[in-house]
Each structure stands twice: as C-alpha cells, then as structure tokens.
Amino acid sequence: MAHPVTEEQVLNALKTVKDPDLHRDIVSLGFVKDLKIENGTVCFNFELTTPACPVKDQMKQECEVKIRQLPGVSKVEIKMSAQVKGRAGFEKAAVLPGVRNVIAIASGKGGVGKSTVCANLALALASSGAKVGLLDCDIYGPSMPLMFGLVGQQPHVSADQKIIPLDAHGIKLMSIGFLARENSPVIWRGPMVHQILQQFLTRVEWGDLDYLMLDLPPGTGDAQLTLTQSAALSGAVIVTTPQEVSLIDARKGLQMFQKVNVPVLGLIENMSYFSCPDCGKVVDIFRSGGGEKMAKELSVPLLGQIPIDPVVSETGDQGLPIVAAHPDSTTAKIYGIIAGAIAAQMSIANMQSSAGDIDIKWETSKS
C-alpha cells in the first residue's frame, strides 16, 4: 500500500498553483485554510480575496488536478469561500468604517452610461455573494430611484438619527432622490453638495460592506472634490464610449484620482458595439477601438466593453436593471465578467498598498 500523503506534499503541490491576477502562489497568499488529510481524502478551505474572483473555477480545478497526482490521494474536497480584503485600517476609519472598499464610477463626459454601469455592476457583485452598497453621488441629477423602481420611497431614520439605506435587490442604496421632494428642482450650491455627501458618508448606516459603489456626476466638480478629499476612496473606474475623442477629459478624471493616490482600476467602454439580435452580427456603430486606445494612452487596464443593448435602457427605465431583470442575457454576463475584473483589480491594489507598508525600498546613498 502506498504511504499516506503528507501535509507537506499537499502544500508543496499547492505552492505551484498561482493566482494569475495577484502573481503569487495560493499558499503564500494565505488562501489555503483548514487543510485536513484523512484516509487518502484531502480537504481544505480555499479562501479567496473576493467572491467575484474571475479565475476561481480555474484555480480550484488546478488544485484538484495537482493534488490528485500525489500518491496516496483518493479524494479531493475543496470548499470555496471569500474574505474580501479592505483598504488599510477600514475597520477603524473615520469615514465609512465597516466598508472594505469604496469604488467610484466616474467619467469625463456626461451621458456615457455611468449610472447604468454602476447599478448593474453593483448587482453583479452582489450576485457573486459580496455585500454591496450603492451611493448615488449625483446630487443634481440622481438616477438611482428611477433605475431601481424606488421613486417616492424614503429611507427610515433611526432613533439615533442614522439614515437606513433602502434595499434594492439585495443592495443597500442611498440617493438624494429619496430625500428631495419629487418634481422639485434640486439646485444645490457647492458647499451644500459637500455637506450632503458628508452626511451620506457619515450618517448613513452602511454597516458591513465588501464594496460600496459610488455613482459620480460627470466631470471633476464639487462632488468629486469632496469624495477625493474625504480620503475614503479605495479605487476608481472610468466609463467612456468609443466615440469619446477627448482624451483630455478622461485624463483630467484620472489625474484627479491619482493626485490623491486613489488607484484607477481601469476603463470600461460602454455602448461599444451592436450585436444584431436576429443574426448575431456585430456592428461597430461608432469607430471601434476607442476604449482600447484610451486605456493604452492612460496606462490603465481596459476592464471590458459593453454593447449597445436596447434592453439595457428599457430595463433601466422600468426600474429593474438588466443584471436583475435578465441575468442570463449576454449583456448581463458581460457585466458579471467586468465586475470580476474590478474585484480582481481591487484585490491587486489592496495587496500592493499593504505590501507598500512593509516593503520599503531605500535608495542606497552614494558615499
């Protein structure tokens, strides 16, 4: 009879499995938990940094194959779980404690689909198993109440004056649209925008969240200033369209985040192409390659391309974003892939920033 497999052999095999995003092996990343070996059965808990990990199935399969190759192994049982890592010191942060990652969805230009993208990405992250919130930071033109079919709803205020966010398909949602009276034009001056957003950050009971998605108004105005200065942002994603020729606006947005050391996780190209529902033929309505070119010029990853899909705007107007209304549609699946890419980039950025705390490279001084 073959010798029973040892823990060391299993760990050595698992050390050859690399996380393709984080570029390190899963043992040194601390993903392998509660390893047990009993009568030839190897079982362990594979703890990822995000439930939306785009390569989880691939890594799990690789582990199975590698452990099975070891002598004396008859069965492999891997339990997948996730513990989302957060920005440094999030538990004790003055702003948004308990929120592990705050991700802003921004754009240089208006009308590129930020709010639609933000709502669908939040839903896609939530459907992967993450705890998600969405804060509509567009004080002048909030779109979330309509997009989630919650027009006229008001948040509950607790006895200790905390605002309880609304529940929208499992997402915690807050918008100025829930506080302002319907049909009243919302005209706020800069300092008021600042105050309202501060209240959203400090008075709303967000609780324990893996990702808080922020839907920003276009450009680089008051809301962006408040949010970047409040130092609560973990990452930013820029939405563009293929016909957006102005690199200047996108670059301005990028620099705004970079100036305050907020990592730009990447670029999403929205309304990229049209896929004919009858014949499946892909038509580039606008020039193609705009997003790719922009991502290259700005040196950020292109996280994905979302097609022009009439169902996207239909469902948006009907109060149920496409990811919730038609989760099996091609467009909803594309949102799922992009959500995974964002979660992966966020894990990478968090890992780099925590590595930066201990891995200081000193310049050698010339004598």
Ligand X SMILES: Nc1ncnc2c1ncn2[C@@H]1O[C@H](COP(=O)(O)OP(=O)(O)OP(=O)(O)O)[C@@H](O)[C@H]1O
Q: Which residues bind ligand X (CB under 6 A)?
A: 107, 110-116, 138, 141, 143, 217-218, 270-271, 306, 308-309, 312-313, 316
CB of 115 or CB of 350, closer to Mg ion: 115
CB of 53 or CB of 139, closer to ligand X: 139
Which residues, 269 to 328, sit near Mg ion by CB under 5 A?
none
Tokens standing for 118?
Answer: 């933000």
CB 277 to ligand X: min, Å: 13
* Binding partner of 316, given Mg ion, ligand X, none, CB within 5-8 angstroms per partner class: ligand X
CB 120 to ligand X: min, Å: 9
CB of 101 or CB of 116, closer to ligand X: 116
Query: What CA–CA distance (Å, rounded) separates 217 from 197?
Result: 12
Query: What CA–CA distance (Å, rounded) separates 14 from 28?
Result: 10
Coil, helix or strand at residue 199: helix
- Binding range to Mg ion, per CB under 5 A, among 141-149, 171-179, 299-307, 351-359: 141-149
- Binding range to Mg ion, per CB under 5 A, among 138-146, 171-179, 246-254, 346-354: 138-146
CB of 31 or CB of 335, closer to Mg ion: 335
Task: Provide the β-strand partners of residue 214.
Answer: 104, 135
> If binding is defined by CB under 5 A, does position 107 make contact with Mg ion?
no
List the one residue from 49, 115, 175, 315 that touches Mg ion (CB under 5 A). Answer: 115
Coil, helix or strand at residue 120: helix
CB of 40 or CB of 219, closer to ligand X: 219
Nearest to 227 by CA among 255, 254, 262: 262
Tokens standing for 28?
Answer: 């040194």
> If binding is defined by CB under 5 A, does position 116 make contact with Mg ion?
no
Tokens standing for 39?
Answer: 């009568």
* Binding partner of 173, given ligand X, Mg ion, none, CB within 5-8 angstroms per partner class: none
Q: Which residues of 352-364 are buried (b: 16+ CB within 10 A; e: fewer)?
A: eeeeeeeeeeeee
CB 293 to ligand X: min, Å: 19
- Name, in order, each residue with C-beta under 8 angstroms of 75's C-beta and a sequence gap of 6 or more: 40, 41, 42
Nearest to 134 by CA among 214, 55, 69: 214
CB of 140 or CB of 231, closer to Mg ion: 140
Query: What CA–CA distance (Å, rounded) separates 216 from 219?
Result: 9
